[in-house]
A and B are shown apart, each in its own frame.
Chain A
Amino acid sequence: MQATHAVSHSGTHEAHHEQGGFWRTYIFSTDHKIIGIQYGITSLCFLLFGFCLMLMMRWQIAHPGQPVPLVGPLLEHVLGASKGIISADLYNMFGAMHGTIMIFLGVVPLAFAAFGNYVVPLMIGAPDMAFPRVNMASYQAYLVGGIIMFTSFFIPGGPAQAGWTSYSPLATSIASNGQTFWLIGMVFLITSSLLGAVNFIATIIQLRAPGMTWMRLPFFVWAQFVTAFLLLLAFPPLEAASIMQLMDKVAHTSFFLPTGLAVGGALANVSGGGSPLLWQHLFWFLGHPEVYVLILPAMGIVAEIIANNTRKPIWGYKSLVYSALVVGFLSFIVWAHHMYMTGMGVKIATFFQTTTMIISIPSVIILTCLFISLWGGSIRFNTPMLFVMAFLPMFGIGGLTGLPLGLSYIDLHLHDTYYVIAHFHYIVAPGTIFALFAGIYYWFPKATGRMMNEFWGKVHFWLSLIFMNLIFQPMFGQGMAGMLRRMSDGGANYSAAVNSRAGADVIGGLSDYVMHLHTYILWAAVGLAIAQIPFIINFFWSIKGGKPAGSDNPWHATTLEWQTPTPPPHGNFAVEPHVYRGPYEYSVPGHSTDFTPQNEPEK
């Protein structure tokens, strides 16, 4: 009954969708590919916006109190920055929103939702996500959350300014409504992530094509599967905490406000009895799995592109899969390593330190497998491959520099310094974002039928690599010299120069050399900005003017998304594909071609 039902239905089904019109097809679409592109464009716009916030912050750090060039008048007119100078409050707003936007509106939607939505159903041989309408709702919730966050810049008092971590009591003690907007925006973003996570997990469990067993899944799908579980189970406590902080702000409760709290010198008119540490625990319960959400999809992309461009299987598929599962599992019980300075006792600090050290093992296994995968490969040095090859040492630096931070004793010195900023930016910027760039160059021909320009891709790569290192490498030294985070004057108040002029003891002050690095970092940031221009132009120009891909599978890849027409039609596969082998059957001895697609029948 089901079979006859399907055959008679599919014809009318196709016709019905073609009659959708512009709104149904592109704006209110339930097709995972359209939704993936919607997520992709929106998140890239937010990434650019967050990047611009960073540029203004770096200016302020290098030239505190001086009007921002070019955009100073804009800041004055739109945000009330007098004479185009970034005040301390405005700097804090930029800082809080830079973090929030880059993580929740930029990287996660791009890595998980955009790439995941477009690629995962194709890779597993499914016609769409398990719940297409829920998928559309999840994008719309993301868009609403993003609009709320963006709008908060323009309300009186400006956006949230207590860091992306929004620690209480500071977050709720600031008189403006920025934090309220942040909290409501977060509720929408969390809802979007939860709906997306449910969809991904159900799709991967239920909609794998016949023959697509768990151990034949491309590693990218495994990475997205674990990421979805992290989002599903780690976000709700932050949602609960956001609701409680919203109650603190709007209903004057004291969930996170301690007894005897004084604001501005006066006793706050609240009941007290709350706990600021409670916010930190609930925040970091999400916060730590969140960083694995940032890295796992990237590792998945890297695996796919390495296999494809070395023309050999990934080394250690099983190790990769089990490591990803273990990383996901352990990520839930390491969170308080972000809280070593909160006065925890030795036993609990040791517990978290131990789990933190243990979690580095599967991370290293994953990186090692990816490195070893290069050995003996016939490497094609195209743009995607350059980005993923750079990912490997860059993520290596980022990950290794995390080890001292995980040890509570050393963290006492490094906590809240620029060392931390360098550590996590190395992982996300020349780490995850490089993998995402690689993914864009790689899957571009599947979505558009055209290749992005190789020359400008390589220009984009080399300039980005050089400038990212110039930006973040000095920060390790600045952090170890004692430079703290979130200082709106770039540390001038603590610099030896300023303090020696005032006659104070300069031991422990930030040296001239440390302060001078700000100028170099600013120039490197400007260089990085310029390096993105060829990418943006290349991206849009190549949609219509790029070299035609020539086939549905220009990279000669084995995974299922390359075995569809270009772009894949609604429903993806005309008939349900059958999978006969694993995902990385490259250079199999005795075969006429150096790759065998997963769904090619045995001969």
Chain B
Amino acid sequence: MEIPYTVQPRPDTGLYNAKVGIWLFLASEVMLFGALFSAYILLRVGAPDGYWPEGWLNVPLGTLNTLVLITSSITTVMAWASLKMGRFSRFKVYHAITLICAVTFLCIKSSEYHDKWIHYEATLKDGTFADGHFRSAVYVNTASNEKLTQKSFHGMEYTTGTGTNAQHFALESVTLNGHIVDDVKKLYNLHSLHEVVHHEDFTVQASQIKRIENYGPWHNTYTALYFTLTGLHALHVIGGAIVIAFLWGPGSKMWQTDPERFTNRVEISGLFWHFVDLVWIFLFPVLYLL
């Protein structure tokens, strides 16, 4: 006995199997991202006044990414519609655009992550805070007193080589492009269009630094949520893109042998893709704007 209703819908439910399956899966994904959004609400509400960052993310880039995903959403549904109308070449064109949009989204996201990665905040011993993008750092070889300029941050000190060849370097100074503030809260609320903060290159001596850290997930709960939420979302973008790429490429052979089943597969992958877009529709305002 063959498994029924893989392509033809079951009369009483009006659905084919994979459609029931994908909606069930999407229900579980709603709960997954829902739990993360709940975490966001709780941690934000629980944060003391003035200590929740606003405006730390690049709004134009985020808006562009939103438009990219929305475009990929319509090309996805158009790809499916093309198959329903029997136009295979149109399907290929639309889903090619979908894949280009996916890659564009991920590239923009990567550059945003990079921007955070090279953004440092240093607590200085005089109680002020130095904040800005990394330009360069000067390290001193503790044995030979030789100075070395690095284009990426290697911590307060680092060692290269092992055993007798080990070279130990200590940080002498760090050059950032940003500003120094006396109250850490001034680093938090950047969303309004009023104050334009003047950024310039400045150097801080290692001896002045109490603690220095970049804007990774460990920096505060906002960055933790940002990286986790967008990271999980990006994993879903990658997963969805892989499935769509497979159906666009090797999987499209099925159009010759079983066009209806292939169309259904494209519909199912499209539903997943739209869900990924849906999550971003909420992520964007929550993380970037509010």
Contacts and interface: CB of A to CB of B under 8 A. Distances in A.
Interface stretch (B10-18, B64-72, B85-93): B10-18
Nearest to B211: A269
Contacts of A339: none
B100 interface: no
B2 A202 contact: no
Interface string A384-427: 00000000000000000000000000000000000000000000
A16 interface: no
Given A251-B217, A251-B218, A278-B43, A206 B5 contact: yes
Q: Which of B1, B20, B24, B46 has the most CB of A within 10 A?
A: B1
Contacts of A6: 2
Interface in A231-249: 232-237, 239-241, 243-244, 247
A243 B28 contact: no
B220 interface: yes
A255 B39 contact: yes
B199 interface: no
Contact of A275 (B35, B42, B218): B42
A251 B216 contact: yes
A575 B228 CA distance: 51
Interface string B8-44: 1010010111101100110111011111101100110
A236 B13 contact: no
A551 interface: no
B39 A244 contact: yes
Interface stretch (A60-68, A73-81, A123-131, A176-184): A123-131
B254 interface: no
A420 B21 CA distance: 38
Interface string A572-598: 111110000000000000000000000
A254 B219 CA distance: 9
A519 interface: no
Given A201-B24, A202-B24, A271-B221, A572 B1 contact: yes
Contacts of A234: 31
B4 interface: yes
A254 B221 contact: yes
A379 interface: no
A243 B235 CA distance: 13
B25 A271 contact: no
A548 interface: no
B193 interface: no
A275 B42 CA distance: 8
B220 A271 contact: yes
Interface size class of B (residues with CB under 8 A): 35 or more
B289 interface: no
Given A232-B27, A240-B36, A278 B228 contact: no
Contacts of A243: 228, 232
B224 interface: yes
Given A205-B20, A232-B24, A247 B221 contact: no
A270 B32 contact: no
Contact of B218 (A130, A252, A572): A252
B166 interface: no
Given A202-B20, A251-B216, A282 B224 contact: no
A9 B2 CA distance: 9
Nearest to A258: B46
A237 B35 contact: yes
Interface string A259-302: 00000000000110111001000100100000000000000000
A4 interface: no
B3 to A, nearest CB: 6
Interface string B43-62: 10011000100000000000
Nearest to B32: A236
A204 to B, nearest CB: 10
B31 A127 contact: no
A201 B228 contact: no
A198 B39 contact: no
Contact of A206 (B2, B13, B35, B232): B13
A234 B218 CA distance: 28
Contacts of A274: 43, 221, 224
Nearest to B220: A271
A206 B217 CA distance: 44
A307 interface: no
A576 B29 CA distance: 35
Most chain B CB within a 10 A radius of its CB, from A207, A270, A573: A207
Contacts of A271: 218-221, 224
B220 A207 contact: no
Contacts of A2: 8
A82 interface: no
Nearest to A274: B221
Contacts of B18: 131
Interface of B: 1-5, 8, 10, 13, 15-18, 20-21, 24-25, 27-29, 31-36, 38-39, 42-43, 46-47, 51, 216-221, 224-225, 227-228, 232
20 contacts: A9-B2, A127-B1, A130-B3, A131-B18, A131-B21, A132-B3, A205-B15, A236-B32, A236-B34, A241-B39, A244-B224, A247-B227, A253-B221, A255-B224, A270-B218, A271-B218, A274-B43, A274-B221, A275-B42, A572-B1
Sort A-B residue pairs by CB-CB distance and give the 7 closest, nearest first.
A237-B35, A253-B224, A236-B32, A240-B35, A127-B1, A236-B31, A252-B218
